[in-house]
Amino acid sequence: MRFLNRLPRRWRALAEEVLKFGSIGLVNTAVTMLIFNVLLSIGPLKANVAATVVATTCSYFMNRHWTYRHLPKTSLKREYTLFFVFNLIGFLIESIILAVARYGMHFDEHTDVAAFNIAKFSGLVIATLFRFWAYRSFVFKASAKKAATLDAEELEPAVAK
């Protein structure tokens, strides 16, 4: 954590956010993969739906109350709706990759479990990058006033010197 203390305030805040987001992501990746594998016998796409819905709900509350707790809150309905929409897009990214594995490469969910897990993990990585950008940009976005305050606080020590 010493490294983080050497960074300018804005970069330090981003680094802390990425670390928290990543921690939550690891927990929810484990939840997703566990549910996905338990339900794989019903089909990879159905299993992915169930796993994604459970992990999305867990992720929303964890991010709202830990990663982005320093930002002003808007209505739960607005945040969760946007969160769910962006997770739906992430889910579509993952599902397209799984569908290519299943229908394009003709993998079988009973014999090609490792291949499906690789496809699932690849889709998860791409979707996670998209989600991080979307959450920061739209769901838990700091107000313009708060962003201006952060910029002013960051510049203040330089001006005082």
Q: What is the CA radius of gyration of the chain?
A: 19
Query: Which of 48, 4, 10, 29 has its CA nearest to residue 131?
Result: 29
Show the beta-strand stretches assigned E in the chain: none
Eight-state DSSP code of residue 75? -
- The CA angle 160-14-19, to the nearest 5 degrees, is 135
Convert the pLDDT of each residue in 75-131 to its tens digit. 888 888 999 999 899 989 988 998 998 899 888 877 888 888 899 889 988 998 999
Tokens describing residue 140: 């838990």
Query: What sign does the CA torsion over 93, 46, 48, 99 have?
Result: negative
Q: For residue range 28-74, what is the model confidence (pLDDT) as tens digits?
A: 989 988 999 999 899 888 998 899 889 888 999 999 999 888 878 78
Q: What is the pTM of this model?
A: 0.66
Structure tokens at 99: 């569908």
Write out the two tokens for 130.
């998209």
